[in-house]
Structure 1
Amino acid sequence: MSAARRGILAAESSIVLRGAFSRENLAGSALDPEAYATLLRRCGELGALDEGKWLHDHLARIGLDRSTFLANLLVQMYGKCGSVDDARRAFRAIPVPNLFSSNLMLVALAQSGHLDEARRIFDEMREERDHVAWNAMIAFYARAGRSRDAVGVLRLMESDGHKPSSVTFVGILSCIDCPGLAREMHSKVAECGFQSDVRIATGILVMYTRCSEIPRAKMVFDSLAERDVVSWTAMLVAYAQNGHILEGKELLRKMPVSNLFSWNAMIDAYGRTGSVEDAEQTYRNMPSRDLVTVNSMIGAYALNGKLSRAMLLFRTMDAQGLRPNRVTFCAVLDACRNVAEARLCHACARDCDLAGDCTVGNALISAYGRYGSVGDARRVFDSLPERNVVSWTAMVAANAQSGHRGEAAALSRAMDLHGVSPNGVTFVNLLTACSQGGLVDEGCEFFASMWRDRGIDPEAQHYRCLVDLFGRVGQLPRAEEVMDLMPWEPDALTWITFLNSCKIHGDVRRAASCAARALELGHLATPVLVKGACAGAGLWRRETENILNDLEEFCL
């Protein structure tokens, strides 16, 4: 919640409590329990924790805190205010807790992210669990992205003899991202007779989109007897997000009522697939535009290297009466061509009170780091009120890109001291720094630390960094050994990385082998990269004519 929003709620709560239920009115008297109930609910809605605590003390003085009805509302109020410790104390103090008490405590814990503790309460409820408890547990797992846990609760619900409701499916469909589970949920919806419910059917469509199962999403869309604007838009987004541009354009033409969301989705889709001209035409033809439209267009420009157009559109936002938000700044900072433009965006972010926003700050660190202004990046990093793993990783990357390898490694160690665990991207930057600096031992230690100390499974880019690490210092047999030990076949970029190392160290035999393998894999950039690497490695010899012939055929 923003500081401005908190201020509004605090002012509103003060006004409420100065009215009919003010402290002065309550100090020496007792009101009807329903009046207290109204006031407690209002405190929860407004997040008025201080006033809620005062009311709790008042109820304790007059003995009404022992009422299960009001005690339950105290738990609910503390939960809505985000004070889990107070909610726990209020829950434990209830003389005779009922099912409503447990449900409220479960919700208070889950809303604050204490899902494991919420699950313990849920498990203790056993036979008392009602549909509210089942649906709440499923919904909170879904919101946290824990799809398998949500499905597990659903299966337990059915085995306990409880039939899922439409509310159950609305919750669980929102988190499924595995094709197998998606089909299972679709079958369950049909078994329970909800397949004709437009809201549920649209949820299934969106679920299949998340799993990139567009034919199944289209099948669900076609089966709808009645379609609302949400279902039409969901199908359009399915096409747009998965690169089905022609189908998306045709659907947009057929839509009874196209809304801004639909047009914005198409601009985003054109940007993702490199169709900048189509994105511009859509932008011009729109009956109206909003901030999302401009953000999508700036993002399309930035993604496709049209950086000057992105900056120009950003500068015209004020004339259009649009105030940039964090999405705008993330898009435009990605489009900055130099430090001066990054500083201009930084100044605009300050004017919009967003310079201290963690997401915007992370984008600023990345932009400054990209152009070698590590000092600016560090000042942004130090000024952030809150930092997450992305902030630390961006700062590690800024130092790594500028050759400050010692500082990059020191930052990774400092993350632990601040209770932030490095992620896979952090290790890519650390390994890149070690590779550029020829720090073989340090790089090997970072690579081993990923899975040994952090439980992070190395991905293709981590192995590629390790190949580059050994290759740059001339340890070509060790680089080959890494490629042999990879849990999957090396991709074209890995072979080209190794080819460049062979070129640097003049190993023609290995370079010829790498060139052949890279061409076999057929990456779009492979012909140009291989040709340049072969030239540098002196491979223009008779024994490699077959590789060059393959290259010519590939290019044609």
Structure 2
Amino acid sequence: MPDRDVTVCNAMMKSLAEDDRLLLARRLFNQMPERDVASWNTMIQVNAIHGHLGESRRLFRAMPQRNIISWTAMLAAEESDLAAAKITFAGMPEWNVVSWTVMITALAQAGLAREAAVLFAQLPEQNIVSITAMISGLGAAGSIDEARSLFDRMPARNQVSWSAMIQAYAQNGYIDEARSILDAMPAMDSVAWNTMIAAYAQDGQIEEALAMLNQVPCASPLPYTVVISAMAQEGALIPATKLFSRIPNHDTVSWTAMVAANAQNGHGRAALGFFRAMDLEGVAADEITILSVLSACGHEGLLAEGWSYFVLLGDDRGMAASVEHFYCMVDVIGRAGRLQEAEDLIASMPFVPNVVPWTSLLAACRTHGDAHRGARAADRVLESRFGAIDVPYALICNAYLGAGRIQDAEMVRRMMREQQLGLGARRRRRVALSQSTDCFALEI
């Protein structure tokens, strides 16, 4: 097969994938009598972009030969899987600026700013992308002075760099400083505007967010949606609804914001009304939309509707029920007092349930007065508690007392005391560590 034909096929595969015709791109790849390294690299990249990390890994392992682009493409594909990215990075025969930057970005996005800083210091050639990644990572870690120092030392900045510094200030509560960076930008873009609007909204400065929103040229639905969500947090549904009506083109995110806003504020039927209007507008719901719909059904006691939306996820909407959908459905059923059905759903889940659904069932048992089932749910909560952030020890203790299991209730009380002592010890250790010399290492 002539090199020119291979190059043409590679371009066609990339074009098909960009048009969301990944299956056709795969078929073309499989039918190619000859492939070069670029063919394999293209398929690794497009599968990763479409969320098929397993297929990218399979292709990477099957490659007859690899170059630095192959390794970097695989590293970029694994950016959200830090453990795998570290292994890939360590196994690379050589590193280039791109691979260094991808690894730094992965560490920064995972909140490991210090590990990212160690790697950043080793970078042979720091570029605008790697420096911006470090600014974002330092901002996320709360190291705002270091982030600003790095920003000030940049030999050149792009729009992403400016937006990263605005975000670093905003997420640490320095709203005025974030605004000063925005005002100093040579040319404001939509990302910077949206970041600042979100900063005002999330800080509770709704009027400032609205004032800025009115200045944005050709605003997309995103900044409107951020302000709507902030209004909903304060229970201001009427202003949120008026703002929603101003959005020029409603998309999935903006509709979902209104469904969630009403569900969170106890207006379940209004939430379902927005959801039905969304369907009539022909806007596709996503997994988050359905979660808000199920929540609305639970708060309104609409069990039949909740079951219908849950069961028809695959047939009507082409999406598989996620872990969160199962857990939310347990809450819907439990709130309706159908405790046996809720327990049956937990038992039939296609994965090992964690503490969340058992806690929902436990709370429902308390509400509906089923002491023995509540004690059984309490057992499961204790068995599943490892790795959980919040364990409802008081609820568990009361469930055991209600079922007459006095010794188990005493055991839980001891756990509560130990947890309180452990929290105190951890706080003391954090203070001691903060006063010691920092020592960080990248483990790969």
The structural deviation recorded for 1:145 is: 5.9
Q: Report the CA distance shift for 1:461/1:331 in structure 2 as closer, same or farther (over 3 A).
A: farther
Read off the aligned partner of 2:59 and give its amino acid letter.
M
SS in 2 for 1:425: helix
1:180–1:393 Cα change, 3 Å = closer
Equivalent of residue 213 in structure 2, options 349, 367, 389? 349
- Residue number in structure 1 paired with 2:99: 231
CA 1:517–1:488 in structure 2 vs 1: closer, same or farther (change >3 Å)?
same
Q: Does 1:531 align with 2:402?
A: no
Which residue type is aligned with residue 409 of structure 1?
L
Report what 1:284 is aligned to: 149
Counterparts of residues 453-468 of structure 1 (less than 5 Å): 453-468=316-331
Q: Larger relative CO (CA 8 A, sep 6+): 1 or 2?
A: 2
* Partners of 1:532 and 1:147 in 2: CA distance: 51
CA distance in 2, matches of 1:247, 1:172: 31
- Quick check: which has more Rg, 1 or 2? 1
TM-score (norm 1): 0.65
From 156, 160, 171, the equivalent of 2:31 is 156
Give, as a single letter, the amino acid of the residue that structure 2 aligns with 1:482: L
Question: Aligned pair in 2 of structure 1 residues 489, 419: CA closer, same or farther (>3 Å)?
Answer: same
Q: TM-score, normalised by structure 2?
A: 0.79
Distance, in Å, in 1 between the alignment partners of 2:300 and 2:178 is: 38
Please name the residue that 2:440 is paired with: none
1:143 alignment partner AA: E
Partners in 2 of 1:202 and 1:511 — Cα distance? 52
Q: Deviations over 1:388-409 (max 9, x none)?
A: 2222111211222222222221
In the aligned structure 1, how far is the partner of 2:377 from the partner of 2:166? Answer: 39
- Change in Cα spacing, 1:318 to 1:388, as seen in structure 2 (3 Å) is closer
Distance 1:133 1:458 in 2: 40
Residue 231 of structure 1 aligns with an amino acid whose one-letter code is S
Displacement of 1:245 in angstroms is 4.2
CA gap of 1:488–1:200, structure 2 versus 1, over 3 A, is closer
Relative to structure 1, the CA distance from residue 321 to residue 521 in structure 2 (aligned partners, 3 Å threshold; closer, same or farther) is same
Does the 8 A contact of 1:295 with 1:331 survive in 2? yes
Contact 2:44-2:57 within 8 A present in 1 as well: no
Over 3 Å counting, the alpha-carbon distance change for 1:323 and 1:532 in structure 2 is farther
Count of aligned residue pairs for this structure pair: 410
Unaligned runs of 5+ in 2: 423-444
SS at match of 2:181: coil
Aligned equivalent of 2:90: 219
The correspondence of residues 365-376 of structure 1 with structure 2, limited to 5 A, is 365-376=228-239
1:480 shift after superposition? 1.2
Structure 1 residues 301 and 151: CA distance shift in structure 2, 3 A:
farther
Q: Alpha carbon RMSD of aligned pairs, Å? A: 3.3
d(CA) in 1 for partners of 2:197, 2:308: 34
Structure 1 residue 428: Cα displacement: 0.7
Deviation, 1:264, is 2.4
CA contact (8 A) 1:206 1:217 kept: no
Give 2:288's aligned residue.
425
Q: CA deviation at 1:156?
A: 1.3
Map 1:430-469 to 2 at 5 A. 430-469=293-332
Tell whether 2:44 aligns with 1:173. Answer: yes
- Residue 143 of structure 1 aligns with which residue? 18
- In the alignment, which of 416, 420, 430 is matched to residue 279 of structure 2? 416
* Residue 263 of structure 1, aligned match among 111, 127, 131: 131
Whole-angstrom distance in 1 between the partners of 2:257 and 2:315: 23
- Matching residue of 2:246: 383
CA distance in 1, matches of 2:315, 2:98: 46
Match of 1:514 among 377, 386, 392: 377
Which stretch of structure 1 is more off in the superposition, 259-268 or 491-500?
Answer: 259-268
Structure 1: state its 5+ residue gaps. Answer: 1-126
Matches within 5 A, 1:75-94: none
How far apart, in 1, do the equivalents of 2:88 and 2:21 lie? Answer: 22
Match of 1:70 in 2: none
Tell me the distance in 2 between the aligned counterparts of 1:270 and 1:524.
Answer: 26
Structure 2 vs 1, CA of residues 451 and 137 (structure 1 numbering), >3 Å: closer, same or farther?
Answer: same
